[in-house]
Chain A
Amino acid sequence: KAGVTQTPRYLIKTRGQQVTLSCSPISGHRSVSWYQQTPGQGLQFLFEYFSETQRNKGNFPGRFSGRQFSNSRSEMNVSTLELGDSALYLCASSLKSSQNINTGELFFGEGSRLTVL
């Protein structure tokens, strides 16, 4: 079974630009979460999607947005990039039971490393 796939793996942008990152979850996983990882702030939750609906959102400005498609693939977008947005962006998928109980067990992709110059 293929794991979580994130594209692109590396990208460089300049301040003010916008970026879109893509995530394909493990087949059968309907929940997709996004996390930002930086040396200073560590791992921080961005948002979670399930069945094309945002279930939870972290404490990030509105420049950070995401969406999920009917095939569970997800994208996140960051507009008006700032230097501080340089980070590893991790996507994680999870299986939800038929009772709508979250397992909390996340399967992470290798991340998209964004550098903002």
Chain B
Amino acid sequence: AQSVTQLGSHVSVSEGALVLLRCNYSSSVPPYLFWYVQYPNQGLQLLLKYTSAATLVKGINGFEAEFKKSETSFHLTKPSAHMSDAAEYFCAVSESKAAGNKLTFGGGTRVLVKP
């Protein structure tokens, strides 16, 4: 079974600084990798999705993620943090195409943006 590890449960960044959130998956390459964001008292919203078409994936709100098979990583970045980026971010994998919409999530990283 797939597993997902997010390094750092909390990240603090200054407004305008680089946001880097780390995600590593278990050794077998999953068909899909995702980053979701959860704002306070809300459900999750899809930021971006990797489908093997391209290793660099661009998402909404200026976020992007790079798939690195050699490092089993799918780190999320944003060049310049905005106050509105304060939220919790989850990396997720799909076991297989046959697994349908059964996703395995990482533990989440809460982002605090300082003015």
Contact = CB atoms under 8 A, between A and B. Distances in A.
A56 B108 CA distance: 23
Interface string B89-109: 010101001011111111110
Contacts of A110: 41-43
Contacts of A107: 46
Interface residues of B, number: 25
Contact of A102 (B36, B100, B104): B100
Contacts, number: 65
Contacts of B44: 90, 92, 106, 108
Interface in A58-117: 58, 90, 92, 94, 101-102, 104-111
* Residue picked from B94, B102, B108, most chain A C-beta under 10 Å: B102
B45 interface: yes
A102 B97 contact: yes
Name the prevailing secondary structure of the A interface residues. Answer: strand
B34 interface: yes
Nearest to B43: A108
B104 A45 contact: yes
Interface in A30-63: 31, 33, 42-45, 48, 50, 55-56, 58
A97 B10 CA distance: 37
Contacts of A56: 99-102
B22 interface: no
A43 B94 CA distance: 14
B97 A45 contact: no
6 contacts: A31-B100, A102-B94, A102-B97, A105-B34, A109-B43, A110-B43
Interface of B: 31-32, 34, 36, 41-46, 49, 90, 92, 94, 97, 99-108
Interface of A: 4, 31, 33, 42-45, 48, 50, 55-56, 58, 90, 92, 94, 101-102, 104-111
